[in-house]
Structure 1
Amino acid sequence: MSSFNADLRARLAEVNASIAELHLRLKPLEDARKQLQSELDGIVYPVATLPPEITSNIFLRCLPPSPELSSPVKAHPSMFTAPLLFLQVCRMWRNIALSTPRLWVDLHVNLGEFPHEMDEDDLEKCIRDWFGRAGTCPLSFSVRGYMSMDAFGSDAIGAIIRHHAPQLQTICLQLRTAHFEAIEDFTGPFPILEKLAVALPFLDGECPAISQLFSDAPRLSQVSFSENAIPSMFYPSHDTLVKVACESCPADDFLWAVKSHPILAEIACSVEPDPMFVYSHIDVITGSHLHTLHFMPGCSLHILPALRLPALRHLRLSVDIDENNFLAFLAHSSTSLRSFSAESEITTFTVDWFAVMPELTQLELYQQGDYFFLDFFAMLNRAQNPRFLPHLRSLTFRSSTFRSTPLNFKV
């Protein structure tokens, strides 16, 4: 037994000796590590030496670009993109980001991106926390719903709009009727609201009766309506309105928009066909300030004979047209026309049309028949036809084969 104990003690002594030897060999490495760490800790990273104002400005330039008012593609806040990304890098960057109000003025909420366990109070708190960092800056608020959301978010969104109405400069709402009902008795005011977009893709039942919701918006200048939303649902006439966009717009709404807004300058729309519409029974409508007109895909142009646009400078077509109505319209509206763009083939288009567009400086044409271009370039010979489009300076051709890389010419 004593012999066995002696063997164990001998082996333990050998292990202890090996450990002691390894400690001696590790000590220089540990000393070297401490020295390197000390030198590293003494280094000040160049980015950390920037004044907070410079870092703040860099942060602002990292924000994703704001999409068009009516664009359905908007970025939901993410921890992997600005500004939330800056909160995770270091304490200094977090403090700078939280003290830069302009980083937090723009918020797009996609209700489908929130966890299912989140309730109305949590949603409202998230939005309030975000906008709370913006201080007194003007705000841009966009909300997008999803098919099966029911009324989720209606109370929170209603509370946010009521609370931040004095700061809201841009509002984009793509929601259910129930969400509008949560704020239908609210009449503002919206003292700095300039841009408004409304879509009702999940329209369930009657259209929301909230025509007065945005009535007290003295600076409203740009509106966009789509997916079952039409202008007459949501606002009375505004003397400040400059730009209107509307998909599937009833003819009466389109003509009302032109007639009721004295300084309206730009319209992009698709007017719905209306077999009951008889323009001869209504007064001719003059848009004295309207200088830009875009007829979007699916637009019916049966309303053209009712329009007079003496200030029209830019005309863009994304539809085929009826030759007689269109030429009659141009005869009353083309003396000031400077740019004409056709984004689809116009089957009735001929070179003779340019006789009623003599002041054109920019022309963009989609592919037409071969004979059209032969006639067009023959007429463009300045030596033989000096009066054919004498002011034309820019010519662009598009086709199905080079739609993304149009051919551009300087005339």
Structure 2
Amino acid sequence: MYVDKGHIQSLMEAKRTSISNLASQIQDLMRLREAEINELAALQAMISPIAKLPTELLAKIFHLVVPPEGFWDYDMDITNKVVDAAHRVSQVSRYWRQIAHGTPQLWVDGFSFDASERATKLTLEQTRAWLERSYPLPITIYFSCRMEGQDTSFATTELFTTLLSTTQRWRHVIWDIHHLFPLCGLPPGSFEALERFSIESMDIQRPPEGLDIVLAAPQLREVAIYIRNDRGSQSHMLGLFRIPWNQLTHLTLGENLSFEDCRDIILQCISVRSIKIRATLWDESSLSLTPVVVVLPNMETLEFHQSYGLAGIAIGHLFACLALPALKSLELSVDGLEEEILTWDAGLFSQFQDRSPNIERISLCASVVPVHADNLIALLRHSPAVAEVTIYDCQIDDAFVRGLEVHQNDPQVLAPRLVNLDLTYSVRDGDVTPSDNALEAMIRSRWWPDASTPHRTSRLESVTIHRGRAPNTHGHPGLQRNLAALREQGLKLSIY
């Protein structure tokens, strides 16, 4: 059979052309399909419920999507989450993008400057766009540097000078760069909007002049100082900050500040509402009493954490100069102590408590160091308003538990308003621990089924008993069985 090869090849070419045409038609149809889908989506959006929302309400919804604060203490930078969330809502549609770009609240917390990185042209453009979108609202900026050394060239970069030109809009500044001098030469009025100021550098360098400019920050209310180098007392540094302590409402003092520095600063903060102190290496020679007692009438929260050193002496001496009539929450935490047993001057501390009679919450963490039972009992006896007590990671015994037990003939009940009790105590070889009998008697003495029944003390609402750091132990199975009826009656009881 004769086959015309040329004819077959022409047929094959025709088929290829036909297939190519069909592929082109399919692509055209797919583009047409996509266009129709987009038009359908646009028509649906016009009648969808969200399209009927007022612009102001949609902007508020966007604001809820974006994290309100992009920076946490101790270098925890989550600015990427802020940036991603803001960009995410602005990329849904052109309409949403217009609203997002016109909502300054979405763009106030996304600024981050790393002095150890060379900024690209894109970074500079993005920063300027961010500044424009956030205008005229106050902004938060996180300044950081991951490298050590004396390099200060970052201060002359275009990106840094761009950010420095917006100081009148700075609301919250976290400064984690070794050098402060770029802030020293700013003109008066640069910090008109500044509310929060944190110094977090690992190895802060002494600036050539003081930061007088911070004194002219009328809105400044929160200050955190973490000077964490090993150069001894930082009194010379604190003097350079020249912060208006008397107008602060929130204060955090970090490691390596001396006892005198912390005490002198606190006594100047006459408007403060909360203070956090993280102290290290306070030795006995630096712990001195002051004859002056200063009243801080607005302070409601006080947290004191001591790592290493003599915490017992520090607690007694620091609180001896304070009167806090509005104090509601007191938190004491110690670890790595030199003492074999934690004890403080009960007389001095009790006098402080008598000057601060409205404490409702007490938390004590001693990191497996035994706390003298007399101190624990005095701690509660001189806080008649306390309703919540947390004793964490301490060694406690029957003497403390029996002290909490209520007896009908007691002339003075310990912690009469106590409703929430959390006892987490350590168990190691040789440790003295509270017995099930003592715990059961104490809990039963503060519980009754009918809340309306008049009683000389408040009724417990929740109790947690936890044998912490206890390998091969199984809590209090007998205690759990004996108190099962109380749980059925409504007591929130957790024993493990």
Give the AA of the match of 1:315: L
CA drift of 1:383 comes to 4.6
- 1:255 partnered with 2:312: no
- Distance, in Å, in 2 between the alignment partners of 1:326 and 1:26 is 90
Counterpart-to-counterpart distance in 1, 2:172 and 2:207: 22
Q: Indicate the residue corresponding to 1:319 in structure 2.
A: 334
Are 2:204 and 1:203 equivalent residues in the alignment? yes
**Deviation per residue, 1:253-281 (Å, 9 max, x gap):** 21222222221222111345144436346
Give matches, 1:154-173, under 5 Å: 154-156=155-157, 159-160=161-162, 162-173=164-175
- The DSSP-based 3-state class of the residue aligned with 1:391 is coil
Q: C-alpha displacement at 1:226, in angstroms?
A: 0.3
Name 1:3's counterpart in structure 2.
Answer: none
> Once structures 1 and 2 are overlaid, which stretch shifts more, 159-168 or 187-196?
159-168
- Matched with 2:458 is none
Per-residue Cα deviation, 1:33-60 (whole angstroms, up to 9, x for no partner):
5774464243126567534545433332
TM-score by length of 2: 0.68
- In the other structure, the counterpart of 1:365 is 391
Gaps of 5+ in 2: 229-233, 336-340, 428-462, 466-490
8 Å CA contact 2:320–2:351 kept in 1: the answer is: no
Q: 1:130 to 1:288 in 2, by over 3 A?
A: same
In the TM superposition, 1:257-406 aligns within 5 A as 257-272=265-280, 273-277=282-286, 279-280=288-289, 283-298=292-307, 300=311, 301-302=313-314, 303-304=317-318, 306-311=320-325, 312-319=327-334, 323-334=343-354, 335-345=357-367, 347-350=370-373, 351-353=376-378, 354-369=380-395, 371-372=397-398, 375-376=400-401, 379-381=404-406, 383=408, 385=410, 387-398=413-424
Question: For 2:166 and 2:71, how far apart are their aligned partners in 1?
Answer: 22
CA distance in 2, matches of 1:13, 1:161: 70
Q: Provide closer, same or farther for how the CA distance between residues 41 and 109 of structure 1 changes in structure 2, counting only shifts above 3 A.
A: closer
Report if aligned partners of 2:249, 2:272 keep a CA contact under 8 Å in 1: yes
1:105 deviates by 0.7
Q: Distance in 1 between matches of 2:333 and 2:31?
A: 70
1:102 aligns to what?
Answer: 105
User: CA offset at residue 21 of structure 1?
Assistant: 6.2
SS of corresponding position for 2:246:
coil
Instruction: Report the alpha carbon displacement of residue 185 of structure 1 after superposing the two structures with TM.
Output: 1.8
8 Å CA contact 1:77, 1:108 repeated in 2: no
Counterpart mapping for 1:105-116 below 5 A: 105-111=108-114, 114=117, 116=118
Structure 1 contact 77–109 (Cα < 8 Å) conserved: no
Amino acid of the structure 1 residue aligned with 2:401: F
User: Deviation string for 1:377-405 (max 9, x for gaps)?
Assistant: 6633365657221111222234579xxxx
Once the two structures are overlaid, the 10-residue window that deviates more, 8-17 or 241-250, is 8-17
1:284–1:306 Cα contact (<8 Å) kept: yes
**In the alignment, is the contact (CA less than 8 A) between 2:116 and 2:145 conserved in 1?**
no
Q: What residue in structure 1 maps to residue 139 of structure 2?
A: 139
Q: Compared with structure 1, are the counterparts of its residues 19 and 165 closer, same or farther at alpha carbon in structure 2 (3 Å cutoff)?
A: closer
The answer to whether the Cα contact below 8 Å between 1:232 and 1:253 also exists between their aligned partners in 2 is: no
Distance in 1 of aligned mates of 2:216 and 2:28:
72
Picking from 225, 236, 241, the partner of 2:243 is 236
Q: RMSD across aligned C-alpha pairs, in angstroms? A: 3.8
| Structure 2 residue matching 1:387: 3-state secondary structure | coil
* 1:194 has 2:195 as partner: yes
CA contact (8 A) 1:123 1:153 kept: no
**What is the deviation of 1:317?**
0.7
Read off the aligned partner of 2:361 and give its amino acid letter: S
* Alpha-carbon separation, structure 2, partners of 1:326 and 1:18: 100
Residues in 2 aligned to 1:31 and 1:126: alpha-carbon distance in whole angstroms: 37
8 Å Cα contact 1:279-1:306 kept in structure 2: no
Equivalent residue of 2:214, what SS?
Answer: coil
Change (3 A) 1:237 1:336: same
Aligned equivalents of 1:221 and 1:14: distance in 2? 86
**Aligned mate of 2:15, from 14, 18, 32:** 18
Q: Distance in 2 between matches of 1:125 and 1:20?
A: 49
Distance in 2 (CA, whole Å) between partners of 1:331 and 1:410 is 34
List alignment gaps of at least 5 residues for structure 1.
1-5
Q: How many residues align?
A: 396
Query: Which deviations, in whole Å up to 9, do the C-alpha atoms of 1:170-206 show, x marking residues without a partner?
Result: 11111021xx2122122542222211111221335x3
Letter in 2 for 1:186: L
Structure 2 residue aligned with 1:72, among 71, 75, 78? 75
Map of 1:407 onto structure 2 = 464
Distance 2:124 2:210 in 1: 22
Q: Is the 8 A contact 2:177 2:201 kept in 1?
A: yes
Residues 400 and 220 of structure 1: CA distance in aligned 2, closer, same or farther (over 3 Å): farther
Cα distance, 1:318 vs structure 2: 1.0
Counterpart of 1:213?
A: 213
Equivalent residues of 1:266, 1:290 under 8 A apart: yes
With structure 1 as the length reference, what TM-score do the two structures score?
Answer: 0.80
Quote how far apart the aligned CAs of 1:32 are.
6.8
**Measured at CA, do residues 281 and 151 of structure 1 come closer, stay the same or move farther in structure 2, by a change above 3 Å?**
same
For the Cα contact (< 8 Å) 2:389–2:421, is it kept in 1? yes
Q: Tell me the distance in 1 between the aligned counterparts of 2:218 and 2:64.
A: 31
Deviation of residue 284 (structure 1)?
A: 4.1
In structure 2, give the amino acid aligned to 1:56.
A
Displacement of 1:11 in angstroms is 2.9
Contact 1:395 / 1:410 at 8 angstroms: preserved in 2? no
Question: Residue 245 of structure 1 aligns to which amino acid in structure 2?
Answer: T
SS of residue paired to 2:240: helix
Q: Deviations over 1:93-151 (max 9, x none)?
A: 4333222211111134151785x4x36x8766543331221121121122121124732
